[in-house]
Chains A and B, each alone.
Chain A
Amino acid sequence: MLLVEDDASIREVATLGLEQSGLRVTAVGDGREGLDRFRQGDVDLVVLDVMLPSLDGFEVCREIRRESQAPIVMLTARSELHDVVVGLELGADDYVTKPFELPELVARVKAVLRRAAPTGDGGTINVAGLEIDPDGFTARKRGEELQLTATEFRLLLELARRPKQVFTRELLLELVWNYDYLGDSRLVDAAVQRLRAKVEDDPKQPALIKTVRGVGYRFAAGT
């Protein structure tokens, strides 16, 4: 995995912590360098600070999303609520706010990686013109493969597995993001927006992923 963080102490201690939990970490302190390193390949996950010299975290996130569906975890300041929303809209899978506990970062990173690993449960789901293959980790719409991130794929899978069931944001946070208690519902809303942009014919008038006002979301199958 790739860690892009400009503060040397945080970079080193986070690297140590992530390596102790069995991950292979490449750490750089600069946005441009981080993007270059990502483009050399062999990166399964990116942890990205927002405030970076030369190219900020949002730009790096945008560039990575342009060419890859690799999981991204943003490091943001909680006092900048705006940062969280922007990061999620740009396609980050999750975020950790500074100051954070090392185990918290490790847990978030592992949760995202777990999401990106094939589940191996259940066969292919065919619903509403979509073909979702949990083993192959692919989704097709009318035979054409959709470019989904792990988070978007999991979200689509959970919704499509039980069409017509209403999922609260809390339940989706638990199923997809592995938050057991009081996660940030904006994670769900941002991911649903991104998923709609890729799955729906008209994202502004979603036919597949419906909003249930005041409750959550549901998958509308066969309509």
Chain B
Amino acid sequence: MTLRRRLTLVLALAVGLSGAALAAGSYFLVRHNLLSDSADSSIVQTRRNLDVAPHYRDTGKLVDAYKSRGDFFTVATLGGHTFLSSASVSLRSVPAGLRAIVDRGELGYERTTVAGDRFLVTGTPTANGTKLYFFFPENGVRHELSVLRNVLLGGVGILVLLAALAGVVLARSALRPVARASTAARSLAEGLLETRLPVEGRDEFGGWAQSFNEMAAALEAKIAALSAAQARERRFTADVAHELRTPLTALMGEASLLADQLDRMPRESRRPAELLIADVARLRRLVEDLMEISRFDAGAESVHAQEVDVAALVRATVQSRGWGDRVRLDGDGLRVTSDPRRLERIVANLVDNAFEHGGSTVSVRVGEGGIEVTDDGPGIPSEHLPHVFERFYKADVSRSGGGTGLGLAIARENALLLEARLEVASEPGAGSRFMLVLPVAEPLRNGDGDVA
């Protein structure tokens, strides 16, 4: 049950119970008063009747005189005779208890019902041995009481309804800050860091909203600081890569000129020159990878999509890098709409990575879902698998391969841009498999049998 519903119920119950107690109390008080008033006046009348009794010798005359008063019925007994003022009552209507009291010579009264009508019956003996019983109708009193009861019941019902209504309204307004806080927390979680709560009043909710706002402000400041630091770091990387560009271009030109002269060099300078040329090439790859990853960080990369024959692209990628005899190609035709430069980059980086990590034979398979690059190297231990696409991540710290450490990270950035997924599976000792799963890959030829 929600807190709001519980609050409503509790309020309605409390009001209902106290209302009912009050109503019942007043009902019984009024009832008691009414009934005792009625009894008192009946007894007064009875005494008055008793006062006139000695003036009548004949009991029949006496009863007729009582009858002329009209507001009560009379039953009188004398000897074995019974005198009645009305056919509505008889001696049998007189309660036995009352008769016993009168027989003892005392005045008494008792309430009874005769043919559905309520009466207060008084009884008294007279000096000449006549026993008088007077039936005072009490229907009026009873009716008044039942009206009162109904009014009180209705009143309590209305009170309970009003209390429930008030409970709903009160609970809602009391709990509004809670609802607002939970909405605010949700929008914070969704990244709207500027979300704040209105601080209303000096109550607990006001204090709470204040604390919430302080927390949100601290969170916002922290995240802003973090992303500013990250942006600075990325800017720095981009600047470094950019600044390296000019000396690197010069180095590459010089290495290229040197490479043409290797044959003519004396033996002792030839080897250093070869190493220099190789290291310039390594530096170039590193700077280019850094520049590329900086472009991704800056969000400066865009996709130039066109229709691509994936198998042809893979073949061209492999051949243009002189890997023709070391890479086995197979698979079906696959035509997708994608960016061929990025696809080429991904395939090249995956194959490069496979060679670098000890694969002697690498196979590239083009299938319905995308491209698969498999090697037979030592594989990747499972604890390293989740990290292989991280920048500069090395599964084996002692190993320093010829790669830049950015190849797989760049491949993944490219894949993300193409809305493709890059996955890895590996079995230590048996090799690794990288899969590029392209979005909505359509087979080139239909009717091959296993076309989805």
Q: Which residues of A contact B (CB under 8 A)?
A: 7, 9-10, 13-14, 16-17, 20, 77-79, 81, 98-103, 181-182, 185, 214
Contact = CB atoms under 8 A, between A and B. Distances in A.
B250 A13 contact: yes
Interface centre among A9, A13, A20, A99 (most CB of B within 10 A): A99
Contact of A79 (B249, B252, B291): B291
Contact of A81 (B294, B300, B316, B341): B300
Contacts of B295: 79
A14 B252 CA distance: 10
Contacts of A100: 249, 252
Given A79-B295, A101-B256, 7 more contacts: A14-B253, A17-B253, A17-B256, A20-B257, A79-B294, A81-B302, A182-B344
Contacts of A181: 316, 320
A29 to B, nearest CB: 13
Contacts, number: 62
B5 interface: no
A124 B175 CA distance: 89
Given A7-B250, A10-B246, A181-B316, A99 B288 contact: yes
Contacts of A182: 340-341, 344
Interface stretch (B129-137, B201-209, B237-245): B237-245
Contact of B284 (A7, A16, A99): A99
A9 B256 contact: no
B257 A77 contact: no
Given A79-B294, A181-B320, A182-B340, A98 B257 contact: no
19 contacts: A9-B253, A10-B246, A10-B249, A10-B250, A13-B253, A13-B254, A14-B253, A16-B253, A16-B257, A17-B257, A79-B294, A79-B295, A98-B246, A98-B248, A100-B249, A101-B252, A101-B256, A181-B320, A182-B344
Contacts of B344: 182
B354 interface: no
Contacts of A103: 256
A20 B71 CA distance: 146
B253 to A, nearest CB: 3
Contacts of B300: 79, 81
Interface size band for B: 20 to 34
A171 to B, nearest CB: 13
Top 5 nearest A-B pairs (CB, nearest first) are: A13-B253, A9-B250, A102-B256, A99-B249, A99-B248
A9 B247 contact: yes
Contacts of B241: 79
Contact of B252 (A20, A81, A102): A102
A7 B252 CA distance: 14
A119 B291 CA distance: 40
Nearest to B281: A101
Residue from B254, B256, B287, B302 whose CB has the most chain A CB atoms within 10 Å: B256
B250 to A, nearest CB: 3
Nearest to B316: A181
A126 B341 CA distance: 38
Contacts of A77: 242, 245
Contacts of A214: 306
B253 A10 contact: yes
B304 interface: yes
B448 interface: no
A102 B288 CA distance: 16
B260 interface: yes
Contact of A98 (B245, B256, B302, B341): B245
A60 B147 CA distance: 108
A2 to B, nearest CB: 18
Nearest to A105: B253
Interface string B277-321: 000000010011001001100001010101000000000100010
A7 B256 contact: no
Contacts of A13: 250, 253-254, 257
A206 B233 CA distance: 48
B248 A102 contact: no
B187 to A, nearest CB: 36
Nearest to B253: A13
Nearest to B313: A182
Contacts of A99: 245, 248-249, 252, 284, 287-288
Contacts of B245: 77, 98-99
Contacts of B250: 7, 9-10, 13
Nearest to B298: A79
Contacts of B256: 17, 101-103
A20 B253 CA distance: 12
B257 A102 contact: yes
Contacts of A17: 253, 256-257
Which of B250, B291, B294, B300 has the most chain A CB atoms closer than 10 A to its own CB? B250
Nearest to B319: A181
Contacts of B246: 7, 10, 98
